[in-house]
Structure 1
Amino acid sequence: MINRKKLSNGITVVLETMPYLRSAAFGVWVKAGSANENEKNNGISHIIEHMLFKGTKNRTAKQIADDMARIGGDINAYTSKECTSFYAVTLDEHLGNAIEILGDMFHNSLIEEQALKKEKGVIIEEIDMYDDSPEDLVHEMLQMKIWDNHPLGYQISGKKETVKAITRQEILDFMAQYYVSENIVISVAGNFNEDKVMELLETNFSQLPEGKRQSDCTVPVYFPSIYTKEKDVEQLHLNIAFNSIVADAEEKYALTILNSVLGGSINSRLFQVIRENLGLTYTIYSYGSSYKTAGLLHIYGAMNPTQLEPVFSNAFDIIEDLKSKGLTDDELSMSKEQIKTELIMGNESAKNRMNSNGKSILLKDYIIPLEETIHKVNEVTQEEIIAFARKYLVKENCSISLVGNLENVDQLKLLSK
C-alpha cells in the first residue's frame, strides 16, 4: 500500500510498506538536474551531488562511509537531466540510522573550499572517462546537437572549463533555490513502521528551508542533426535518434512494446537479423530517453567501420517492415509478457519501488498503479504500434551520431539511400 504525506515544512513523503521484506530503501529526490542549469553553471547539480558526501559539521567524508558500513548499508547518489537522487538501502532494523546520516548530509554539509577544489579534480577525471568512452559520447553528443543550446541537451557532468569556474557561493545560491521543501520528495519502501518513519523524517528533514517548486524547463525544438567524432578505436559506434514522445504521453505503452520488438531484447528484430542472422555487429539495441518536455528513440550499434552501410540499411529495412506490416501475433504476445514480467519482478524490490515512487511523485505528481500499467500494456493494439512507428520512425527526420574510425565514412550517403 502506498501512502502520501507531508512534513511540517512541506516536503512530500511517499511511503510503501512491504512487510514481507527484511530490508528498506530510503531516497531523497531533488527536482534539480542539468535541465535546470544554464551555460555558465552547467554541471553544478552534479557537483552538489558529490559535495554532500564530502563532510558535514558532524562527520568527515570517511565517517559518512564508515557509519553506513557499520550498518551494512549501501549509500549512493546520482544526477540526471531532471533530478538528483540520494539514497540508502539497508536492513529494516537500520533504516533509522540511514535516515539520520542522509539528514545530516542535507542539513550540515560544509561544502569546504579545499574539498571543492579536490572534488572538481575528481569530476574532471570523470568527464575524461566519458570522453574516452565512444558508447557514452555517441549518445551524449547527439542529444546536445539535437537540442541545440537548450538545457535538456546539456551534459550532466558539465564541461571541464565550466566545472573549474563554478564557485562555492554559486553552489550555495543554487542550493538555496532548488534544495527547498516543495522541490523535494522523500521516498521510503520496504519493511518499516509508518508512524516511526514519519517521526524520524520530521526530526531529520523538517529543518530544510521552505520554498516553492521550480518550474519545468521549456520545450526544446528537435533539430535533425549529424554528429561525428574521429576516435582511434577498433569499432565504429552508431546512434540513430528519432524525435519521440514525452515521458507522460499516453503513447508510452505503444512505445514500450515497439521498442521491445525493435531492439529492446535478445529476441528483437534488430538483434536477431543484424547480429544473429547477418553477423554484422556484436552489439545492437534500441532504447528510449523520454523526459518531461521531450523524448527520443534511439538505435545503437557498434561495428567494424566497413559494416556501417549494411547495418544502417538493414535497420531501416526492419523499421519499414514494422511500419507496413506491424508485429506478428507471436511478437505482440511475447513482448507484452516480457514487459509484464519485468514490471512485476521489479515491483518486488524495495529499492526499485523507492526509486519508481520517488521519481513519479517528483516529476509527475502521481503514481500509476502496477495493475493499471499492466492493463494499459495489454490493451495496446497492432494499429497503435503501426501508427506510432509511422509517426516517429521517419528516416528523413532522423539524427545520426558516429564515433570511431571515420576515414571511409560518408554519413550523408547513408541518408540518401
Structure 2
Amino acid sequence: MKKPFKKISNNFYIVNFPNKTKEVYFDIYSKLGYFNESEKEFGIGHLLEHYLVESVPNKEKLEFVNGSINSDFMNYYVKSDTKNAVRDIEILLKGILLPKFDNENLLKREKSVIENEIRSKKDIKIDAFNFLLKQNFGDNFLYARDKKNQIVNTKNVKLFDLKNHYEKVFNEKNIFFVLSGYELDKNIEKKISDLVKGHKLSKHGKGSAKVKISEFQKNKLVKNSKYHWNNELVFNLCFNLPIKICRSHKDLKTLTMIRDYLEDQKFYFAKEMREIGVYSVSLDRMIWKNAGIIVLSAEIDREKIPVLKKGILNFLNNLEKDGISKSDILKLRKMQKDRLEKSFVDNMKRLNWISNDLLFHNNVTLLKDDLVELKEIDSDYIKNFSKQIFDIKKSNIVVFGKGSDKIKF
C-alpha cells in the first residue's frame, strides 16, 4: 500500500487517494489571501482569481478548472483523468504561471461578474457574522470588510495593478503544487514533476501588505437589532483564540472535544438546554493566520436568554474546575477517532487534510500521530486549556435580533 502522500520537492507533493478512481486533481496553492491586501487593494485577489481562470488557454478542453480565494490563501485546480492528466495540467500551468495581462475586455467583464456575485450574496447570517468580527477585532479586520468596499476597489483596478499583485502572490516563497490520484503511474508522476520544474517562479516576490488587526475587544456587550431572520434572538459569547493555540494540532483537538461535549445530546449540557427549549448551542472556531475567535451561540426566545447565559457560564466554570469525567473523555475520544479515520479513507477529505496542513503548519500530521495526541488529552489537560481560553472577563457578548436593544441583562 502506498504512503498517504510523498514530497517530491520543497514545493511539489503527491497525495495518494485511498479509493480507486480515474479522477486526477492538480492544485496550485498560494499562501497569500485577503490578509495580504491593503485597505485600498481589498478585492484585487478575487479579481486576479477570476482573470487567471478565465484566461487559461484551451480552457474548453478541460473537464473542470476553477479558482478560489479566502482570507489566508489562493487556490487554482484542474480536474482530469489518468488519460489526459499530463495535457490538462500543462494547460493549467501555462495559464496560471505564464499569464498575459493585456485583455482589457476580460478585465472589464470579470469586474462586472464580481460585482453581481457580491451583490447577489444576500445571506443575513454571513452579514451578521461579519458584524460580529468587526465588534471583536475592529473595522480593519479584513475578512469583515464591507461589500461596498470590495466593489469600489475592484472597479478601480487596472491591468497594471493586477500584474503587480500577481508578482507579489506568485513567487517561490508562496507557491506549492499538489497532484492527487489513485496509484498514479510513475511515468505520469515524472512527466508532471518535470512540468512543475519547468516553470521557474520568481525568487523575490514583492512584499505583501502588513495588515494591522485591532486587539480582541474584551468584555463588551453589543445588542444589534438590524440582523434577524426569525422571531428568536441569537446569543453569541465570544472569546479570543490565541494564535499559538491555532497552530497546535493537540489544542485544536481539545477544542473539538469541548465542542462535542457542549453540543452533543449524549452529554449533559445539550440535554439541559433542550429542557429549557433551546434547540442547540454551538461552538464555532474561526482561525486566520493573524487572528482566532471562539463563539458559543444559540437561537433562543427573549425571556430565556438569562437562563441560557447562566447555563453556558456554569458549563465553562465546571470545565475549568472539574474537567470532564473519564467515561465521557473515552466517548469523546472515540467520536474524534471515528471522524479522523473516515477522513483519512476518503479521497477528497484526504486531499483537504494534507493541503490544509501544508498551508497552515508547513508539515503533515498523519492519522497515527493524531491518534497518539488524542490519548494524551485527559481531564487535567482540558481543565488547563479551559482556564487559558474561557475567561469571562475577556469575553464579548453580541446579541442579534429584532428588539435586542431592549434586552436587559
For the superposition of Structure 1 and Structure 2, which TM-score range results when normalised by the shorter chain?
0.7 to 0.9
- Distance (Å, rounded) in 1 between the aligned partners of 2:271 and 2:163: 51
Alignment of 1:248-397 (within 5 A): 248-249=247-248, 250-263=250-263, 265=264, 267=266, 271-274=270-273, 276-281=274-279, 283-397=280-394
- Distance (Å, rounded) in 2 between the aligned partners of 1:94 and 1:338: 40
The residue aligned with 1:3 is 6
The residue aligned with 1:146 is 136
Alignment of 1:55-134 (within 5 A): 55-56=55-56, 58-59=57-58, 64=59, 66-69=60-63, 74-110=64-100, 112-130=103-121, 132-134=122-124
1:404: how far off?
3.1
8 Å Cα contact 1:181-1:212 kept in structure 2: yes
Indicate the SS of the match to 2:311: helix
- Distance (Å, rounded) in 2 between the aligned partners of 1:68 and 1:266: 46
Larger deviation, residues 331-340 vs 239-248: 239-248
State which of 207, 210, 229 in structure 2 corresponds to 1:233: 229
- Distance (Å, rounded) in 2 between the aligned partners of 1:400 and 1:126: 32
8 Å Cα contact 2:86-2:191 kept in structure 1: no
8 Å Cα contact 1:27-1:86 kept in structure 2: yes
Larger deviation, residues 236-245 vs 110-119: 110-119
Q: Percent identity?
A: 15
Tell me which amino acid in the other structure corresponds to 2:110: E
8 Å Cα contact 1:266-1:272 kept in structure 2: yes
- The number of aligned residues is 394
8 Å Cα contact 1:145-1:153 kept in structure 2: no
1:99: how far off?
1.8
Indicate the SS of the match to 2:345: coil
1:38: how far off?
1.1
- Distance (Å, rounded) in 2 between the aligned partners of 1:362 and 1:5: 17
Report the CA distance shift for 1:39/1:219 in structure 2 as closer, same or farther (over 3 A).
Answer: closer
Deviations 1:10-30, CA, capped at 9 Å, x for gaps: x70111324752233321110
1:114: how far off?
2.9
1:43: how far off?
1.9
The residue aligned with 1:24 is 24
Report the CA distance shift for 1:302/1:203 in structure 2 as closer, same or farther (over 3 A).
Answer: same
Tell me which amino acid in the other structure corresponds to 2:262: L
Report the CA distance shift for 1:381/1:101 in structure 2 as closer, same or farther (over 3 A).
Answer: same
8 Å Cα contact 2:247-2:360 kept in structure 1: no
- Distance (Å, rounded) in 2 between the aligned partners of 1:238 and 1:160: 31
Deviations 1:37-61, CA, capped at 9 Å, x for gaps: 11111122222222222233x23xx
- Distance (Å, rounded) in 2 between the aligned partners of 1:313 and 1:121: 49
8 Å Cα contact 1:42-1:156 kept in structure 2: no
1:336: how far off?
1.0
1:299: how far off?
1.7
Tell me which amino acid in the other structure corresponds to 1:47: L
State which of 117, 127, 150 in structure 2 corresponds to 1:137: 127
- What is the TM-score with the length of structure 1 in the denominator? 0.82
- Distance (Å, rounded) in 1 between the aligned partners of 2:357 and 2:131: 27
- Distance (Å, rounded) in 1 between the aligned partners of 2:120 and 2:297: 20
Question: Do structure 1's residue 180 and structure 2's residue 155 form an aligned pair?
Answer: no
1:3: how far off?
1.9
Is there any run of 5+ residues in structure 1 with no aligned partner, and where?
none
Tell me which amino acid in the other structure corresponds to 1:185: F
8 Å Cα contact 1:138-1:238 kept in structure 2: no
1:409: how far off?
3.8
Report the CA distance shift for 1:273/1:211 in structure 2 as closer, same or farther (over 3 A).
Answer: farther
- Distance (Å, rounded) in 1 between the aligned partners of 2:61 and 2:399: 45
The residue aligned with 1:36 is 36
- Distance (Å, rounded) in 2 between the aligned partners of 1:174 and 1:385: 44
Tell me which amino acid in the other structure corresponds to 1:79: I
State which of 198, 203, 215 in structure 2 corresponds to 1:211: 203
Report the CA distance shift for 1:258/1:182 in structure 2 as closer, same or farther (over 3 A).
Answer: same
Report the CA distance shift for 1:328/1:128 in structure 2 as closer, same or farther (over 3 A).
Answer: farther
Is there any run of 5+ residues in structure 2 with no aligned partner, and where?
none
